[in-house]
Amino acid sequence: MGSGAIETRGLVKAYTRDKPAVNGLDMTVPEGCVYGFLGRNGAGKTTTIKVLMGLHPRDRGEARVLGMDPGTRNDAMLSNIGYVSERQQLYEYMRAREMVEFSGGFYPGHDVRYASELLDKFGIDPQKRVRELSRGMLAKLCLVLALAHKPRLLILDEPTSGLDAVVRREFLESIVEVIAQEGRTVFFSTHIIEEVERVADRIGVVGEGRMIYEGELDRLKETTRRVRVGFDDSPPDSLAGPKLIRFRRDGNELLLTVRDFSDGALDQLLAGLAARSRQVETMSLEEIFVDMVQ
């Protein structure tokens, strides 16, 4: 395996025999990138993260996090990771400052001054008890806890779940400002397209535990097109090609979603078909994602 911050090859994790939650996942997260791990609910995102964190053992395949095997209890690995789970458990009776101090006791690299700066930057009153904080402030406090020891890698599992649109935006801007500028690697899972577009420079789209697409976000948007192909008679029942994401019939038209689009590739895809017309359309990331996971 290479030198990415996170790498998996053929990763498998199953809770039942008939349907693995993670089913041969290949993934590479380069150092220093903001990587959006995108998929529908139930696609295997959280299970993948639990394997990467060493919380669940993998059944087959390989996994490396910061060059280390998460399947073995590795304090060096964990001390270089900041982790925010979807359902973070905090001690509600503690004040925010006490929660930060308590969490810092588990990390040799905990920076008291930096933690205080983060509390101030995020507008968190250090004297407020956890139970008195709004959901948005709780999310930001979890981010402080994950960042205070200055980890090389930050792993966020659906970090904005349950937050309204305004708070989600503030939280994501905090990620961009505090994390990306300092060159850390950020890996975050989500099913919300807007989050990915706002902060990610690289994405992985997963479906049923397998990687559907992995690559640069901008390139995916720039090179994926929907093509409407018209026929005088009924269009063909099927069509296959390595770059064909989705195939649909709509009356006398075919609706094709094509990745790495070019006129030459389209000519090859439609070779031998008596097409009357073709119309190429740009697509939003949401439209691309929906077609990928259908």
What tens digit of pLDDT does each residue of 222-263 get?
999 999 999 988 888 888 888 899 999 988 899 999 999 998
Residues with Cβ within 8 Å of residue 7, at least 6 apart in sequence: 1, 27, 28, 29, 62, 63, 64
Do the Cβ atoms of 211 and 23 come closer than 8 Å? Answer: no
Is the pLDDT reported for residue 180 higher than 70?
A: no
Is the pLDDT reported for residue 55 higher than 80?
A: yes
189: closest CA among 64, 20, 76, 50? 50
pLDDT of residue 248: 92
**81 strand-pairing partners:** 153
pLDDT of residue 167: 79
Q: How confident is the model at residue 181 (pLDDT cuts 50, 70, 90)?
A: low
Domain with CATH 3.40.50.300 in the chain: 6-215
pLDDT of residue 53: 94
pLDDT of residue 38: 93
Distance of alpha carbon 125 from alpha carbon 155, whole angstroms: 25
Query: 201 in the Ramachandran plot: left (φ > 0), alpha (ψ -120 to 50) or beta?
Result: alpha
Domain with CATH 3.30.70 in the chain: 224-293
pLDDT, average across residues 255-272: 90
Which tens digit of pLDDT belongs to each residue from 75-86? 889 899 999 987
CATH of 224-293 among 3.30.70, 3.30.310, 1.10.287, 1.10.3470: 3.30.70
Do the Cβ atoms of 233 and 219 come closer than 8 Å? Answer: no
Is the pLDDT reported for residue 126 higher than 70?
A: yes
Is the pLDDT reported for residue 174 higher than 80?
A: no
| Count, residues in the chain | 294
6-215 is a CATH 3.40.50.300 domain? yes
- Amino acid at residue number 82: G
Distance of alpha carbon 61 from alpha carbon 79, whole angstroms: 24
pLDDT of residue 199: 85
The chain-wide mean pLDDT, for the chain, equals 90
Which tens digit of pLDDT belongs to each residue from 139-160? 889 989 999 999 999 999 988 8
